Structure 1
C-alpha cells in the first residue's frame, strides 16, 4: 500500500512540474500581434497555430493527470486510522509535581523525624 501511495505522489509531482513548464512555454494573447509582423512564429516546429493547440492540449492532459492523482491520494489517504491529536503523542517531561505526590502517605512509619530534612 505504501508503494502505491509513493507512486501516486511521484505521478502528481511530475504532472505538476509538467503543468508549470507547459504554462511557461505558452504565449500570451499579446504575442499574436508580434507574429503578424514577422517574428518567425510561422517557421517554428509546430507552425503558426500548431504550438498553441499542442501546448493547450498537453496542459489539459497534465491537469487531468494531476487532478486524478490528487483524487487518488485523497481516497488512499482517507483510509488512514487516526488515533488522536498531535498533542497526545508528546512525552510528559517537566510536569509540575502535584500536592498528592509530595504529601506523606498515610502508611508512613511513626518515626518520620529521621526522614525529614533539617532546616
Structure 2
C-alpha cells in the first residue's frame, strides 16, 4: 500500500511540474492584439489558462492527500518500533554498534619481569 501511494505521489509531482511549465505567463496575452486570435485555440475562446489551472489545482490536491497518507504511514511505523519497547534512538545506536568490529578481549597481564631497556639511566 505504501509503495502504491509513493508511486502516485511521484507521478502527481511530475504532473504538476509539467502543467506549470505548460502554462503561459501573464504577458502572453499581449500577442492577441497582433492577430493571434483566441478562435484558433484548442481549449476554446477563453484559452487554456482556466483548464490548465483547474487541472493543476486537482493535482495539487492529490499531492497534498498523498503527502498526508505518507506521513500517517511513517507515524505508524514509528509507533510500531516504540511499541516493541525499542526507542528509536537506541535502535539507531544498536544498528551502528553492530556495524562496528567487536572489541578484542583484553590480554591477561603476565607476571614476567619488565624487559631491560637500552636507554641508559642516570645513577
The RMSD of aligned alpha carbons is 2.9
Q: Do residues 23 (structure 1) and 31 (structure 2) align?
A: no
Question: How many angstroms does 1:29 deviate by?
Answer: 0.1
What per-residue deviation string (whole Å, max 9, x for no partner) do you get for residues 2-61 of structure 1?
Answer: xx1011101101111110111111100010111232235430210232411110000000
- 2:40 alignment partner, one of 40, 43, 50: 43
TM alignment of 1:4-23, pairs within 5 A:
4-23=1-20
Unaligned runs of 5+ in 2: 117-123
Number of aligned residues: 105
Structure 1 runs of 4+ with >6 Å offset: none
Map 1:30-109 → 2, pairs under 5 A? 30-80=27-77, 81=81, 83=86, 84-85=88-89, 86-90=92-96, 91-93=99-101, 101-104=106-109
In the aligned structure 2, how far is the partner of 1:42 from the partner of 1:88? 68
Greater helix proportion? 2
With the length of structure 1 as denominator, give the TM-score of the two structures. 0.72
- Give the TM-score, by structure 2 length: 0.70
Tell me the distance in 2 between the aligned counterparts of 1:103 and 1:38. Answer: 96
